[in-house]
Structure 1
Amino acid sequence: MTTEPVVLAPPAPSRGTARTPVVQRTRDRNHRGAVRWVVLAAAVVVAVAMMVPFAIMLLNAFKAPGEYSAEGPLSLPSSLYTDGLVAFWQRVDYPEKLLNSTLIAGSVAVLATLVSLLNAYALGIGRIRGRMWVVALFLLANMLPQEALVYPLYFLAKETGLYNTQLSVIIIFTVIQSAFGTYLLASVLSTFPPSVLEAAALDGASSWQVLWRVVFPIARPTLSVLLIFFFIWTWNEFFIPLVMLIDNSTQTIPVALASLQGDRLMDVPTINAGALVSLLPAVVFFLVFQRTLTRGITAGAVK
């Protein structure tokens, strides 16, 4: 007599057990959603706090001096006062200062990015001897305050005949900005895939061809970010241009804006109108290249 084996079916999952993973996923989703809303609210609060000084500047740029003295900086203007804007435009020769600032900031941005790429290519991919010491030297140079550099720079500019010329400011800030760019790009290029370089070497590519045909296209997003940052940083520089540029025809916008403030008298509406007009080119430049900046940061994050 043969007995058939008895197959026991697994117990059916209870209703509570089947529902537990769904409830857990729902709780995780709700928790992540709450955290996102908290982060978004905090970002909005920080953005509003950062925009408050710009809003006050905008209010006082179109407010009459008498109204500013009587009602203070936080009151709304009763009428649109544009004499401060006209006075700033005429007193500092704004088109000339705009051309000077654009020339200096644009030249520094391009040259500093190029120098940073060449230095980082030698340090990150060339693997020169003493690479870490050289990178540390660039980092140290980037940490030095401008007040410690201004007298040697002033002396060298005097000796070389470059004092009171825009070329002196371009050279100085090209070196200063490229110190940071070299430190950043050297760390990025040090992680460059060796297989790509080996393939290019097997194809007979020289060092310059590897740089411009292999490394440059891949590092272009990072270079675009550096270019934007270098332009904005140089545009806002004040101390070294104040020391190096003494003629009215060579000065930049920040230096011309500071010249409106006297020792005992300050025309607040004119200064606010000048600050507003001086800020607009940098804001326009940032908005034009905003997508480039976003793509560069995203590409670096993906890598």
Structure 2
Amino acid sequence: MALITGTSAPVRRPVRDRHHRGVGRWVVLTLVTLGALVMLVPFAFMLLNAFKSPGDYSSGGPLSWPTEFYTKGLRTYWNAVDFPLKLWNSALIAGSVAVLGVAVSLLNAYALGVGRVRGRLWIVGLFLLANMLPQEALIYPLYYVAKEVGLYNTRLAVIIIFTVIQSAFGTYLLASVLGTFPRSLLEAAALDGAGTWTVLWRVVFPNLRPTLAVLLIFFFIWTWNEFLIPLVMLIDNQTQTIPVALASLQGDRLMDAPTTNAGSLISLVPAVVFFLIFQRTLARGITAGAEK
């Protein structure tokens, strides 16, 4: 005779494979793939026209296939703008801004988020407001100040300007993160006799490392692509950056499209290489931020 008990065995629900979650998943993946392909279309046109002769471009237009593998545009751009020098200027400015911007953002956010400065919300709001200001509104004051202090037409002036601009966003972001930092960790470090700087480098910095890595990558790419302020502040050929050098290829009434596309292709390579090198760091940083 079977024993009757008051409990029943748990019913196991079938586990659905992550590859069979319905039509919606495949619709989303299809739309994302199509969006990525659409975004790659301009790069395909740039690659196609970079190796096209001016005669092919004039006769067939930008959509025609080149009749020969034309590399003179690459050589012309490389020599005309002194590309190695422009590459060094862009790398120096973008790298310096990325490192200094992250450092300034961390120190500001530590004072606002952990130090609990009086009027913290107002100060963070000012940083947010400063981040919303268009660069066109800052051009004349920055130009005037740079002229007065003797930093006009120097890479240092651009580094200082973009460090302040980028750190405004970084301060706002990190201050919001540090505002919710576990107080128990800070109190434990204080009981162990840790000072302000020790808490910053031994407690706060290790926990914020993924977020700081993401900011470093963003600051570098954003500064690398900047055009307006370097165009106004850097007028000497020895100090100009890659975006400004690209703009110098276009005249008032004439533009060499193959050379411009070749220059854009060469100028894009360093940024793509930088992104590929730090792609895993960016993915880990965003994932860690989402988990927190």
If the length of structure 2 is used for normalisation, what is the TM-score? Answer: 0.94
Aligned equivalent of 1:85: 74
Deviation at 1:294, TM superposition (A): 0.5
Aligned equivalent of 2:8: none
Deviation at 1:35, TM superposition (A): 1.9
Q: Distance in 1 between matches of 2:255 and 2:147?
A: 33
Aligned equivalent of 1:4: none
Deviation at 1:42, TM superposition (A): 0.9
Aligned equivalent of 1:297: 286
Equivalent position SS for 1:287: helix
Aligned equivalent of 2:61: 72
1:259 is aligned to 2:228: no
Aligned equivalent of 1:284: 273
Q: Distance in 2 between matches of 1:30 and 1:167?
A: 53
Unaligned 5+ segments in structure 1 are 1-6, 11-17
Equivalent position SS for 2:181: coil
For each residue in 1:128-156, what CA deviation from the matched residue of structure 2 results, as whole angstroms up to 9, or x when unmatched? 00000000000000000000000000000
Q: Distance in 1 between matches of 2:18 and 2:69?
A: 51
Match of 1:212 among 196, 201, 209: 201
Q: Distance in 2 between matches of 1:95 and 1:31?
A: 51
Structure 2 vs 1, CA of residues 86 and 131 (structure 1 numbering), >3 Å: closer, same or farther?
same
1:199 partner amino acid: A
1:144 partner amino acid: L
Deviation at 1:127, TM superposition (A): 0.8
Q: Distance in 2 between matches of 1:253 and 1:272?
A: 13
Deviation at 1:75, TM superposition (A): 1.4
Deviation at 1:33, TM superposition (A): 3.4
1:214 partner amino acid: V
Aligned equivalent of 2:41: 52
Which of structures 1 and 2 has the bigger CA Rg?
1
Q: Distance in 1 between matches of 2:3 and 2:276?
A: 70
Identity of aligned residues (%): 75
If the length of structure 1 is used for normalisation, what is the TM-score? Answer: 0.91
For each residue in 1:55-81, what CA deviation from the matched residue of structure 2 results, as whole angstroms up to 9, or x when unmatched? 000000000001001111011212110
1:270 is aligned to 2:249: no
Q: Distance in 1 between matches of 2:21 and 2:286?
A: 24
Equivalent position SS for 1:89: helix
Equivalent position SS for 1:32: coil
Q: Distance in 2 between matches of 1:30 and 1:217?
A: 36
Structure 2 vs 1, CA of residues 34 and 270 (structure 1 numbering), >3 Å: closer, same or farther?
same
1:201 is aligned to 2:190: yes
For each residue in 1:187-221, what CA deviation from the matched residue of structure 2 results, as whole angstroms up to 9, or x when unmatched? 11111110000000000000000000110011000
Structure 2 vs 1, CA of residues 30 and 164 (structure 1 numbering), >3 Å: closer, same or farther?
closer
Q: Distance in 1 between matches of 2:3 and 2:198?
A: 72
Equivalent position SS for 2:138: helix
Equivalent position SS for 2:65: coil
Aligned equivalent of 1:241: 230
Q: CA RMSD in A?
A: 1.9
Aligned equivalent of 2:28: 39
Unaligned 5+ segments in structure 2 are 6-10
2:101 partner amino acid: A
1:191 is aligned to 2:180: yes
| Structure 1 runs (4+) greater than 3 angstroms displaced | 7-10, 28-31
